[in-house]
Amino acid sequence: MLEKGFVRPSTSPFAAPILFTPKKDGGLRMCIDYRALNRVTIKSRYPIPRADELIDQLRGAKFFSKIDLRGGYHQIRVNDADCYKTAFRTRYGSYEYTVMPFGLTNAPSTFQLTMNEVFRPLLDKCVIVYLDDILIYNTIREAHLRDLEAVFALLQQHRLITKGSKCEFMKQELEFLGHVISIDGVKIDPKKIATIQDWKPPANLRELQSFLGFVNYVRRFIPNMAGVTSPLTDLLKKGTFYEWGGEQQAAFDQLKLFLTTPPVLRIADPHRPFELITDASDLAVGAVLLQVFGEGLQPIAYESRKLNPAERNYPVHDKELLAIVHAFKVWRCYLTGADVTVRTDHKSLQFIRAQPTLNPRQIRWLDYLESNFHDRVTYKRGASNIADALTRPSVHTAAVLITQTNSLLTGLFTHGYSTDPFFTTNSHPQLTVKQGAYYLKSGTNRIWVPAYRTLRELLIQEAHDSNFSGHYGIDKTAKLLSCNYYLPDLPTDMQQYITSCATCQRMKSSRLRSAGLLQPLEPPSRPWQQVTMDFVTGQLAGPSGNDAILVVVGRLTKMAHFAACKTTITAEQTAKLFLTNIVRLHGIPSAIISDRDPRFTSNFWTKAWQQYGTPLHRTARLSAPIRRWSS
């Protein structure tokens, strides 16, 4: 950097520390900790464009090219009078930048301003720019080539240098701002999906915030994100103790599962009418924005959010209206001035504008809708309402989810059917196919679930772990799941899942008989004052016919004696064996500890030791003080 003239020696009183971060290409980027300088800097308010707004400009495009600038910020010089403010310290002395460094609070807005000025003649016509990422697009190949010539002319005019290794030209699909852009629409970059799949459960609040921030970037692809992340966002509340339990792990796993088959979203076309499907539950409101393309209704984006404590007390009518208002606020850039059909499963909302009396909240919401949008509300029965899936557990809307184009379950079912030998090698007269799913002809209209472990675990998880299920036992969970699905070997899968459920193990009461009063024994003060004893059985019989061993252990020294015997030994024979091997060598013990073997609880054994004045102690159930000797 010194040789390139990017930095120069400095005697500035400023001295920020340095650090290095890895680049995508494996190199290192030197960054300066300018936090102290940024705190006293007047902030620039120049806007940075939103990624989704930029992507919306690409509708209809077939050819894409991407240009990346070498060094990015370093192609902009710093005013000589301000260079001293950028000084940083190293072991070789202090240096200051002559070009704009990374880490300054106003660097992004300054760079975006520069790029917008450079490409102003082409901006939003055939070029979109996000900082140092330049995307050129067009529907016609020849026109796209002319656009590239114009872009290179502007780069040459302003003496901006590109990085060839990160440039792509004349592509019909490429990565831009964490998304993959193509003529079919927008999908999540597979590299980001891999990152989420490899993400470990957050160990603290900071890691959880990082994970949720990452997932939030692709929230428009995730149905019911507000509901799914509810157990995770609850941990962010002030004063909440961070405890990662079964509910949080289930939400974490479900998010990762959603992203294994993310949908391809179409880019909104303002010249086509929109269809907005909304729904509300006790926990969240949700919506799906769709448009009609050649193959029918296609999703543009998903949206959902949690209800706050006050909103949860709203009547059902107001919650359903809130879902509509929230959707219009989120997608106002699409829906303002557009022809919008709103479909809701709350039939009375069709006539809300004709109602003679409305509460102040409803009046305020209707005034917002009527003054900003051209919409009409129609009724859509809940059983066919896609947005039901955004606000309610999927186990209760199984038939709905499987009919969704590009939905999570559609992808999982399709993959499961294609890999299950039962469906790939046999004909199925007992089944009927509807929209890619196999339904049982007899009985209720249930879906046959393929032998695909990921799908089965998701369905069982929803039936058992959701807030509406309550962690039922095996029978109740199986009955709940069987309302919509048929799963071969369901009891086995269900038992494996429920018996390993951490929440059930931690919270549900034990059905074992309660233990009696447990009283610890006083430790012995001398060797062989107290002994423990038991039989070890299951041994091979020796030449003498002995197939068991009487083990006696001194509690203080843990010294053990082993006496061979038979499993048919009586209480009298046991007493004789004990006297010969223990009392003869160590004297009469002051206490004997044993289990409840019939020989140790017999009348003969009890009365014999009463004569010696030696108390007998019984161990607690499941306790085995000398079990380690049995090996």
| Nearest of 286, 290, 284 to residue 269 by alpha carbon | 290
Rounded Cα distance, 445 and 483, in Å: 9
Distances (CA, A) of 371 to 173, 337, 363, 365, 368: 40, 10, 12, 10, 5
Do both 404 and 381 map to the same domain? no
The residues near 242 (Cβ < 8 Å, ≥ 6 apart) are 204, 205, 208, 235
Residue 466 has pLDDT above 80, yes or no: no
Do both 372 and 284 map to the same domain? yes
Residue 248 has pLDDT above 60, yes or no: yes
Do both 192 and 313 map to the same domain? no
Residue 75 has pLDDT above 60, yes or no: yes
Do both 155 and 232 map to the same domain? no
Gap between the terminal Cα atoms of the chain: 69
Do both 197 and 172 map to the same domain? no
Cβ-count burial of 244 within 10 angstroms (0-12 exposed, 13-18 middle, 19+ buried)? middle
Q: Pull the structure tokens for residue 206.
A: 């900071």
If one counts every other C-beta atom within 10 angstroms of the C-beta of residue 3, the result is 6
Helix/strand/coil for 559: coil
The answer as to whether 520 is a domain residue is no
In which domain, by residue range, is 410 found? 399-507
Query: Partners of 375 in the beta sheet?
Result: 340
Query: In this predicted model, what pLDDT tens digit does every residue of 275-321 receive, in sequence order?
Result: 888 888 777 888 888 888 766 677 888 788 888 889 888 888 888 88
Do 132 and 160 form a contact (C-beta atoms < 8 A)? no
CATH of the domain at 566: 3.30.420.10
| Nearest of 629, 579, 580, 589 to residue 613 by alpha carbon | 589
Do both 555 and 609 map to the same domain? yes
Alpha helices for 57-105 (secondary structure H): none
Q: Which of 201-210, 350-359, 499-508 has the highest average model confidence (pLDDT)? A: 201-210
Residue 14 has pLDDT above 50, yes or no: yes
Query: In this predicted model, what pLDDT tens digit does every residue of 475-529 receive, in sequence order?
Result: 888 877 877 788 877 777 778 888 888 777 777 766 666 666 667 788 899 999 9
Rounded Cα distance, 591 and 76, in Å: 89
Query: Partners of 254 in the beta sheet?
Result: none
Do both 220 and 254 map to the same domain? yes
Q: Which of 62-76, 101-115, 478-492, 565-579 has the highest average model confidence (pLDDT)? A: 565-579
Query: In this predicted model, what pLDDT tens digit does every residue of 322-346 receive, in sequence order?
Result: 888 888 888 887 887 778 888 887 7
Residue 551 has pLDDT above 90, yes or no: yes
Q: Pull the structure tokens for residue 422.
A: 């039962």
If one counts every other C-beta atom within 10 angstroms of the C-beta of residue 131, the result is 18
pLDDT at 10: 87
Question: For the whole prediction, is pTM greater than 0.75?
Answer: no
Do 486 and 458 form a contact (C-beta atoms < 8 A)? no
Rounded Cα distance, 24 and 29, in Å: 10
425 vs 312, more confident:
312
Total structural domains within the chain: 5
Domain boundary among 339, 370, 389: 389
Rounded to 5°, angle at Cα 224 from 238 and 216: 60
Q: Pull the structure tokens for residue 179.
A: 């998304």
Do both 142 and 48 map to the same domain? yes
pLDDT-above-90 percentage for the chain: 13
Q: What is the mean pLDDT of the chain?
A: 80
pLDDT at 234: 84
The answer as to whether 541 is a domain residue is yes
pLDDT at 65: 92
pLDDT at 401: 34
The answer as to whether 545 is a domain residue is yes
Helix/strand/coil for 64: strand
Rounded Cα distance, 142 and 147, in Å: 9
pLDDT at 183: 82
Do both 472 and 325 map to the same domain? no
pLDDT at 411: 59
Residue 572 has pLDDT above 90, yes or no: yes
Do both 200 and 178 map to the same domain? no
pLDDT at 631: 53
Rounded Cα distance, 160 and 165, in Å: 16
Rounded to 5°, angle at Cα 214 from 209 and 219: 110
CATH of the domain at 452: 1.10.340.70
As a 3-state breakdown, the chain gives helix, strand, coil percent values, each rounded to 5, of: 40, 20, 40
Residue 381 DSSP class: -
Domain boundary among 201, 232, 258: 258
State which H helix or E strand residue 55 sits in.
helix 51-56
Do both 29 and 158 map to the same domain? yes
Helix/strand/coil for 616: strand
Q: Pull the structure tokens for residue 4.
A: 């390139």
Residue 382 has pLDDT above 50, yes or no: no
Q: Which of 52-66, 216-230, 419-433 has the highest average model confidence (pLDDT)? A: 52-66
Strand arrangement of the beta sheet that strand 93-97 belongs to: 7-9, 93-97, 88-90
Unique residue bearing structure tokens 């990762």: 256
The answer as to whether 514 is a domain residue is no
The answer as to whether 316 is a domain residue is yes
CATH of the domain at 322: 3.10.20.370
CATH of the domain at 31: 3.30.70.270
Rounded Cα distance, 374 and 40, in Å: 47
Q: Which has the minimum average pLDDT: 231-240, 400-409, 620-629? A: 400-409
Residue 387 has pLDDT above 50, yes or no: no
Unique residue bearing structure tokens 């557990």: 393
Do both 534 and 613 map to the same domain? yes
Query: In this predicted model, what pLDDT tens digit does every residue of 144-200 receive, in sequence order?
Result: 999 999 999 999 998 888 888 888 898 888 888 878 888 888 887 777 777 777 778
Residue 449 has pLDDT above 90, yes or no: no
The answer as to whether 327 is a domain residue is yes
SS3 for 24-38, per residue? CCCCEEEEECCHHHH
Name the CA radius of gyration of the chain, rounded: 36
Rounded Cα distance, 494 and 49, in Å: 49
Domain boundary among 183, 201, 225: 183
Do 504 and 471 form a contact (C-beta atoms < 8 A)? yes
The answer as to whether 464 is a domain residue is yes
Do 280 and 323 form a contact (C-beta atoms < 8 A)? yes
Cβ-count burial of 136 within 10 angstroms (0-12 exposed, 13-18 middle, 19+ buried)? buried
Mean pLDDT of 609-629: 74
Query: Partners of 137 in the beta sheet?
Result: 64
The answer as to whether 513 is a domain residue is no
